[in-house]
Amino acid sequence: MTWDEAVALFEERGLSEEIWQNLYEGEYVLHTGSADIDGGFPLNDGEDHPWEEERDIGYIVDGDLTLSGPLYDFDDGAAALVVLGNLKVKALHTTCDSKIIVTGHTTAEVIYAEYSDKYLVFAGDLRATVQLWLSESTPDHIGGTFAGSLVHMGYDRDYPIEAGKVELSPVPFSELLVPEVLEDGEVDSEALLDRMTSGEPLLRS
């Protein structure tokens, strides 16, 4: 769909310009209705995505998006993703210049984010068993409840999470994640991504 058609859809769904104005203009792949996908959804260039159309700027799902695997990126120039509904994924991994907008609630087992050059808007709740926001990465907006076991570090200081409500778990992330993704008490980001994309468990049973 064209950018003008995307804007018309956003307006029809009641999104304020403040939410979508930071998206890049261009053509988007549109999925009409909710999507339930077996597997992951890579936002990187050169990787297969769930739909046949070639994307220019990114993807718009006009409904809920449910993945049995991860939503992930690790290359600059990753596709944008707009979900006009709820997002449910096994994991969310973003370490580049992502633009992700979710108008409903977002749930995951694990969220891992690095670096600050992103645009991440979660209009509803943002819930995960473990949330790792590193190197000054932080959501641009959380309209609902932020919940989970949190690590949120910027260089040498903590940055506060701003949300409608914050519910932090008292259980440390190191007691929740499987040992295979930990090294000297810290998260091994490559090992975490490998387990995400291979479908192996991320959390202790």
204 occurs within a structural domain: no
Based on the structure, what is the number of domains in the chain? 1
Query: Does residue 87 sit within a domain?
Result: yes
The structure's pTM equals: 0.94
Residue range(s) defining the domain that contains residue 37: 3-198
- Quick check: is 146 in a domain? yes
Instruction: Over range 105-110, report the average pLDDT.
Output: 98
| Domain contains 40 | yes
Categorize the per-residue pLDDT at 156 as very low, low, confident or very high, splitting at 50, 70 and 90.
very low
C-alpha to C-alpha distance for 91 and 159, rounded to whole angstroms: 22
Question: What does the pLDDT look like over 23-34, one tens digit per residue?
Answer: 999 999 999 999
Residue 47 confidence (pLDDT): 83
Which pair of structure tokens corresponds to residue 190?
């490559």
Alpha helices in 115-188 (DSSP H): none
Residue 26 lies in a domain: yes
